[in-house]
């Protein structure tokens, strides 16, 4: 009789543990997704700011492609482990800033979608209205992002930074 009670308690504990584990796992994945989205928003903002500064110099000082090529080389040299500062990408940053000249990029749907999607929208659509409409549609897909992350291989999931790592990096840069 004692063995039956012990087995029943063990079964209840095992079910409770599994539920707790799944809940914690879901919360971790959700936090990783939020962190990735925050990082994306910061990157899109940075790209817009770079593009805007270069565009202003193009208009005021007549900067051309040679200057953008030099900037790309210098940025690659200054940040050798970072991607995204190629000549081609800098041209996209300028194009992006020209396409969205006078609004707060962080509050727009284009700040919430990946850079590659933004480039496609710029290439395929003529007006801001069309781009923002499609960007909003892409954001609507984000409800599935948690499921997508959960389906990633464990190795890739482990490579995503934790909230603590991102917060620490941001804190280190505050000076």
The model's confidence at residue 65, banded by pLDDT at 50, 70 and 90, is confident
Contacts of 127-130 with CB under 8 Å at 24 or more apart are 128/99, 128/100
Structure tokens at 67: 């200057």
Mean pLDDT confidence for 121-140: 81
For the chain, the domains span: 2-161
Mean pLDDT confidence for 13-37: 84
pLDDT at 56 over 70: yes
Any alpha helices (H) in 62-144, and if so which ranges?
65-78, 87-99, 115-124, 128-140
Query: In this predicted model, which residue has the larger pLDDT, 138 or 57?
Result: 57
**Closest to 29 measured CA to CA, from 158, 139, 115, 142:** 158
Mean pLDDT of the chain: 79
Q: Are 115 and 47 in contact (CB under 8 A)?
A: yes
With a threshold of 0.85, does the pTM exceed it?
no
Minimum mean pLDDT range among 57-66, 115-124, 134-143: 134-143
Q: Are 29 and 149 in contact (CB under 8 A)?
A: yes
Please give the pLDDT value at position 78.
Answer: 96
For 4-22, write each residue's pLDDT tens digit: 666 666 777 788 888 888 8
């Amino acid at each position: 009789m004692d063995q039956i009670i012990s087995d029943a308690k063990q079964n209840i504990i095992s079910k409770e543990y599994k539920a707790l584990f799944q809940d914690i796992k879901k919360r971790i994945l959700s936090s990783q997704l939020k962190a990735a989205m925050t990082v994306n928003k910061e990157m899109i903002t940075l790209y817009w700011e770079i593009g805007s500064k270069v565009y202003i110099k193009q208009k005021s000082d007549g900067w051309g492609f040679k200057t953008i090529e030099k900037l790309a080389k210098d940025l690659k040299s200054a940040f050798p482990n970072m991607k995204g500062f190629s000549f081609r990408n800098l041209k996209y940053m300028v194009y992006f800033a020209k396409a969205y000249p006078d609004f707060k990029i962080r509050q727009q749907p284009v700040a919430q979608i990946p850079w590659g999607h933004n480039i496609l929208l710029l290439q395929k659509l003529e007006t801001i209205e069309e781009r923002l409409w499609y960007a909003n549609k892409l954001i609507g897909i984000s409800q599935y992002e948690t499921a997508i992350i959960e389906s990633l291989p464990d190795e890739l999931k482990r490579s995503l930074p934790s909230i603590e790592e991102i917060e620490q990096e941001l804190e280190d840069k505050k000076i």
